[in-house]
Structure 1
Amino acid sequence: MTDTSLEKDTEPELDEELLAEAMRGTGTMSRNETLNIVLREYVMAKRHVRRKALEEIRRMSAEGAFDWDAIEEADK
């Protein structure tokens, strides 16, 4: 598992205005709950973008956009 801990003196300050807006938007009262919701939404949005990009590459490949023979030839 990745160590995401930060040293106390290097930990960035949270933008309290953004946090308050996120708390209003999520309807939460807890900082931790708000941050977990927002982080989850961020990760899910990034996964969606990657999934769409992979689907596009697969579609392009199925339509013959890539010349696999030329790639194999270049590897020789």
Structure 2
Amino acid sequence: MTLLAVKKTKNDYFEEIFITAAVSKNLKTRALTFDSRYAYLSNLKLIYRANWTFFYYTKKQRNNSSKISIDIILK
């Protein structure tokens, strides 16, 4: 019997890591920062529903990586 390779997306990995962190009893933080590549609606809802604060970074101009703005989104 062969196992089918399950292709996970970066959002699948994000969800797994976040859920592991959120249920950890040793973790004292309730805030999270990440790149806009992970700012998909499903990820944002997951963070929001866990009552965490999140910050994500976006590039203002994709052609000039030296200009970066920070969008701060609070509950």
TM-score, structure 1 normalization: 0.23
Q: Which structure has the highest strand share of the two?
A: 2
**Structure whose CA Rg is larger:** 1
* Higher helix content, 1 or 2: 1
